[in-house]
Amino acid sequence: MESKVWVLGGTGRAGREVAAQLAERGVHPVLVGRNAARLTEVAARVPGATTVVAASADEMAERIRQARPDVVINTVGPFAETAPPLVRACLPTSHYVDLANDVEALSALLDLGEEAAAADRTLVSGAGFGVAATESVVVKLCEGRPPAAAVRVDMVPSLGMEEGKVGEALAATLVDGLASPGRGQGELAAARLGDELMTLTLPDGTQVKTASLPLGELVAAHRASGAQSVVSASSEAPTSPAVRAFLPLGVAVLRIQVVRTFAKRRLAQVRVKARERPREHSWGTRPGPMG
């Protein structure tokens, strides 16, 4: 297939995996990033891949306007900052997909639905596991029924990590998630991170603890269900009593914009060790009725 599919952030963990998956399906991706040498190195391992060098989201947007690719896949975070100029560049001619999983970025993109429809373009946010998995469960369970009174979604990912820096996209998702509301009450309203503690028994018989963590699943479940109250929870949320006791203070500090920006930058530079996936499967669930 010679359709033009651009992968922004083509040298990052997510970008490399997306490019490899596209190549397996016969699509020749265009890898876009800041480092020409690194792009060339990655492209050499992806059949049919070519490269475009762009130093910032604004420069990527300008290249998109010039080249008019069919599809743009954005893996460059923080998505609340990178998505707006890229979507504006895409709307006249290109479809857009990103891996955002924070409340701010997901909400902003979904609010552009009418503009996308008018341009006959498709915008997809939250294309990673969490939003897609939990939203699909909510959509299926709510199909053909009146709006739910209350919904809870639980994301239980089985995440492996390669050695390296956390990176801007993941750092922004984590920090913004900590500073965002954890429950939807009509409009999104504040709830304490780490509340709504629950122990789930997975289909394979293992048990895992989850607690409220306000990521993109909150927005997706709220819109998909029409429920007045939505809880977004995850096994990645802190569940130990000692940590949860200090969360209110930490969350309050992170809601100060300058502190949040600093925390993202520092976390993005932290190096992590390689980690194997803790279980065979990831799970996206909606536990039993909530009233």
pTM for the structure as a whole:
0.82
Contacts of 25 (CB under 8 A, 6+ apart): 1
Beta strands 150-156 and 164-165 are: unpaired
The yes-or-no verdict on residue 32 having pLDDT over 90 is yes
- Tens digits of per-residue pLDDT, 67-100? 999 999 999 988 888 999 999 999 999 999 999 9
Mean pLDDT of 89-118: 92
- Tens digits of per-residue pLDDT, 155-169? 998 877 778 777 776
Where is average pLDDT lowest: 41-45, 57-61, 94-98, 246-250?
Answer: 246-250
Residue pair 266/166 in contact (Cβ under 8 Å)? The answer is no
- Tens digits of per-residue pLDDT, 6-22? 999 999 989 999 999 99
pLDDT of residue 184: 45
Backbone angles phi, psi at 274, to 5 degrees: -65, 140
Separation CA 108–CA 84 (nearest Å): 8
Kindly provide the residue ranges of all beta strands, DSSP E only, lying in the chain, ordered along the sequence. 5-8, 29-33, 50-53, 71-74, 95-98, 123-124, 150-156, 164-165, 183-185, 187-189, 198-201, 207-212, 229-234, 271-272, 283-285
Residue 104: pLDDT band with limits 50, 70, 90? confident
Residue 30 has a CB neighbour count (10 Å cut-off) of: 23
The yes-or-no verdict on residue 62 having pLDDT over 90 is yes
Beta strands 95-98 and 71-74 are: parallel
Backbone angles phi, psi at 279, to 5 degrees: -150, 165
The yes-or-no verdict on residue 221 having pLDDT over 80 is yes
Residue 3 has a CB neighbour count (10 Å cut-off) of: 10
The yes-or-no verdict on residue 243 having pLDDT over 70 is no
Separation CA 95–CA 81 (nearest Å): 19
Where is average pLDDT lowest: 12-21, 53-62, 218-227, 277-286?
Answer: 277-286
Number of helices (H) and strands (E), helices first, in the chain?
A: 11, 15
